[in-house]
Amino acid sequence: MSFLSLEGITLQWDGQGGVRDINLTLPKGAFLSILGPSGCGKSTLLRLIAGLEHPQAGKIVIDGRDVTALPPAQRNLSMVFQSYALFPHLNVAENVLFGLKVRRIDKVERSTRLAKVLEMTGLTGLEKRKPSELSGGQRQRVALARAAVAQKPLCLMDEPLSNLDAKLRNSVRRDIRALSRKLGLTVVYVTHDQGEAMSLSDKVILMNNGRIEQVGTPTELYNRPATTFAAQFIGEPPMSLINGAALGYDSGCTVGIRPEAVKVVPAGQGDLDVIVDDFEFMGSETQLALTHPAAQGLAAIMNDEARFGLGHKIGVQLPDESRLLFNTVSGETEKEPKQ
Amino acid sequence: MTDHFALQRQRRAINGWLLLAPSLVMLSVFALYPSVATVITSLWSRGTRRSPSEFIGLENYRYMFDDPGFWLVVKNNLFYAGVTIPISIGLALAMALWANSKLPARGFVRTAYFTPTVLPMIAAANLWLFFYTPSFGILNQIGAFFGADPVNWLGQPSTALWAICVVTIWKEAGFFMIFYLAALQTIPPDLKEAADIEGASRWTYTRRIVLPLLMPTTLFILVNALINSVKLIDHLFILTKGGPSDSSKLILYYIWEHAFAYFDRPTAAAMTAMVLAVLGVLAALQFIVFDKRAHYR
């Protein structure tokens, strides 16, 4: 039984931008990430679900109710904004309780819920602070608390971590995950950061140019990218693409391979001879950037500390079972790796 | 070494004074000196060729407080302030909220509201003189269309001050609206969206979010309106000259009469000093009271 479903959602401005023909279903309690480069329409899609924008075509169903024409307040959802959208003149407690006061929930209930969410988000003791007196991470927690206190079954998050520094991002990320599990929330989470999307979600939607490029679990997206776009967007470094002709395939196909599957061998002993362009020592591993006339973004990951001179010629072995074949013209997967 | 540092310090001091000099000169010549001179003049008697002026302490102030004319203009001015300040601020806020929403001809609406502000007060007064003229003025013509008797708005004590108030409100509301409009545009739109998601009505959003965020602007406008209620009297010269029977005479006009019509400078100086003191105290009070409730970003 799906909790949230979108059917043929379209919203475009002057025939461009926005989103086109989006179809999607999500079960209750699932964590969905909408991932994509900037300008791909992921925030628009979230705003459409929230009711802050209205689609030109299509239908939005939340919990069995057609909400396409309803205003945001009647959709039974909460939202966390990228800019937090905290009310600057209200203190933490007033910010969190704003919605409950609007909905005239009685005072006793309000204070129990407030105490609970502040404890959950680690904000206890900061009730009387104004947003301007809080750090970025604390503000973000207030925004989360405001969404959690509403006890709505669906929570929308619009790049909630993008204004935080890297370290804070990891800790708030864990908080979001813990909170959504504890409250049994269905979450739709917009991000351009694949690390966030992969680590948080049960399901990921990869968007490009207003369309859905691929839907699947993080593992599916990583192991079986549906298109060359997905292959090159996901993974750090992403999948390398090699012209099929260089490896003895039909020239109408492209071979994709994950850097960790690439094996480095002495020159002449592998499938291709390549030039070492750059290497980065990352602690547990070393990343090699390689160049070959037929390859795009070719990289290899080595676990030992072997070093090569820049411009050195080495060979790479591309194991058959890790190769993915794409149609060069359409960009779609033709053959999945042999398991 | 010491010499070097001393020289450096000296040079820095000179730089500081040079930077300070322009405003210091301007303020001293045009604000500080006249204020002090006013207070001094108010403590001396009116000099004539036969009896030169002499120091009489607070005598001029006593004369002022004993003068029923002074109390009449104070009463008029309080009425004038009491009517024009709240109405012009309320109107400005209403117009700003409206002009800030998505309108088809938003630019036109804003310009239309702002036009009275661009007009010099004297020109505005001439315009309104035409509106108010008995019998063939626009107001009476509209009245006549509905069968009302002609009213001499400016010529009778019961309506003269009201007529003056209307001109001031008409002139000021558009000016204050610009400040509100600017403040409204600094409120991020996602606050409205967040309130929408929480289910807040338009009215709740305005009352709980917008008005508190406009508080610093309101305070600024309030101080300005208060000062203007004393300062803005140009239209009196065109419309009523304080009449009939002093019913529309305001403090500053009264001061002007004393200084330049009756050449009684000490009395005028005493009244000016009084007004300055009262305005200063009021502005300070406003800042202290509202500062606690205003949120500054």
B136's CB contacts (< 8 A; 6+ apart) are none
* β-bridge mates for residue A212, sequence order: A207
Separation CA B156–CA B154 (nearest Å): 6
Determine the residue of chain A that is closest to B192 in CA distance: A85
| Residue A27 C-alpha, separation from nearest chain B C-alpha, in angstroms | 22
**B 204-243 residues with CB < 8 A to A:** 204, 208-209, 212-213, 215
Q: Residue A185 in contact with residue A153, Cβ under 8 Å?
A: yes
| Residue B114 C-alpha, separation from nearest chain A C-alpha, in angstroms | 30
- The whole-number pLDDT of residue B19 equals 94
Residues of A in contact with B197 (CB under 8 A): 50, 52, 72-73, 77-79, 99
Domain A2-226 in CATH 2.60.40.1660? The answer is no
In this complex, which of B194, B200, B213 lies closest to A89 when CB atoms are compared? Answer: B213
Interface test with A, best of B198, B291, B293 (most A CBs within 10 A): B198
Separation CA A158–CA A143 (nearest Å): 11
Give pTM, 2 decimals.
Answer: 0.77
- What's the pLDDT tens digit per position in B139-148? 777 877 887 7
- The whole-number pLDDT of residue B22 equals 94
Whether B197 and A88 lie within 8 Å, measured CB to CB = no
Whether B196 and A73 lie within 8 Å, measured CB to CB = yes
Q: What residues does each domain of chain A span?
A: 2-226, 229-335
Separation CA B280–CA A162 (nearest Å): 48
AA letter at A256: G
Separation CA B289–CA A95 (nearest Å): 24
Instruction: Give CA B180 to chain center in angstroms.
Output: 17
Question: In terms of C-beta density within 10 A (0-12 exposed, 13-18 middle, 19 or more buried), how is residue B148 classed?
Answer: exposed
CATH superfamily of A229-335: Nucleic acid-binding proteins (2.40.50.140)
The two tokens of residue B32 are 């500080």
Bridge pairing between strands A240-243 and A253-257: antiparallel
Separation CA A187–CA A46 (nearest Å): 11
Residues of A in contact with B297 (CB under 8 A): 88, 132
Average pLDDT, chain B: 86
Query: How many Cβ atoms sit within 10 Å of the Cβ of residue A269?
Result: 11
- What's the pLDDT tens digit per position in B74-106? 999 999 999 999 999 999 999 888 888 877 777
In this complex, which of B188, B199, B297 lies closest to A99 when CB atoms are compared? Answer: B199
Question: Prior bond to A237 cis, omega within 30?
Answer: yes
CB of B199 within 8 Å of a chain A CB? The answer is: yes
| Residue A134 C-alpha, separation from nearest chain B C-alpha, in angstroms | 13
- The whole-number pLDDT of residue A180 equals 87
- What's the pLDDT tens digit per position in B152-209? 777 888 888 888 899 899 988 888 998 999 999 889 988 999 999 988 888 999 999 9
Whether A98 and B196 lie within 8 Å, measured CB to CB = no
Per-residue pLDDT of chain A (339 residues; tens, 9 = 90+): 688 999 989 998 876 778 888 998 999 989 999 999 888 888 899 999 999 989 999 999 998 889 998 999 889 999 999 888 999 999 999 999 998 988 888 899 999 999 988 988 888 888 889 998 998 888 988 998 999 898 889 999 998 888 888 888 888 888 888 888 888 889 999 998 888 888 889 999 999 988 899 999 999 999 888 888 998 888 888 888 888 888 878 778 888 899 888 888 888 888 888 888 888 888 888 888 888 888 888 888 887 766 677 888 888 888 888 888 888 877 787 766 544
CB of B4 within 8 Å of a chain A CB? The answer is: no
Residues of B in contact with A96 (CB under 8 A): none
> Which runs of E-coded beta strand occur in chain A?
2-13, 16-27, 31-35, 57-62, 65-66, 77-80, 154-158, 186-191, 203-208, 211-216, 240-243, 253-257, 263-265, 272-281, 286-291, 295-296, 299-302, 313-317, 324-327, 333-335
Bridge pairing between strands A31-35 and A186-191: parallel
Model ipTM value = 0.80
Whether B297 and A88 lie within 8 Å, measured CB to CB = yes
Whether B197 and A132 lie within 8 Å, measured CB to CB = no
| Residue A119 C-alpha, separation from nearest chain B C-alpha, in angstroms | 22
The two tokens of residue A259 are 């850097």
Size of interface A-B (CB pairs under 8 A): 60
Residues of A in contact with B196 (CB under 8 A): 52, 71-73
The alpha carbon dihedral of B232, B235, B241, B243 has a sign of negative
First and final CA of chain B: distance in angstroms?
Answer: 47
**Is A2-226's fold the same as A229-335's?**
no
